[in-house]
Amino acid sequence: MKPTAPTFHTTTFPTPCGPFSVAVDDTGAVVATAFGDLHRLSERLKPTCNLISDKLSLTIPVKKEVDAYFSGKLHTFTVPLAAQGTEFQHKVWSALVAIPYGETRSYGGLAADLGNPTASRAVGSANGANPICLLVPCHRVIGADGSLTGFAFGEDIKRQLLALEGALPPQLIN
């Protein structure tokens, strides 16, 4: 018997950085997010999943927290997360969540935080595979020289998020 493809409940709503799409499982745990429409979100999920928008009530807690973040009232997300990944990716994603609001880390610094200072490329790869942007703050990881590298949704959005948090590297402040 062929396994049934998972079903995720989705919504897209406006933010100061443009449309933001969210997918949650049947319990309301976030499995993926994306700046952009549902097509952009589906790129971050397994190709064999079903995306539906029939239970918007499951996505309301995420929308409330994202809205509170953009209004400056929330610095730490509390909605449950259910990203799929390897053990190493989960270690990196946990380290990302541990970067405080208003701070940044370099890829090498994050690798050192994980106890393996030579693993900056592997950390960068795991960071890039993060399916839950914003809530798992991959935007807080910058180049060792302070450059805004490696954000799937572009440098402009990364710059806006870091500026909102007061974490934009000094050399990039206009």
105-109 contacts at long range (C-beta below 8 A, 24 or more positions apart): 105/140, 105/141, 105/142, 106/141, 106/142, 106/143, 106/144, 107/141, 107/143, 107/144, 107/150, 108/144, 109/144
Q: Is residue 49 annotated as part of the catalytic site, yes or no?
A: no
Contact 22, 8 (CB under 8 A): no
Active-site amino acid positions:
138
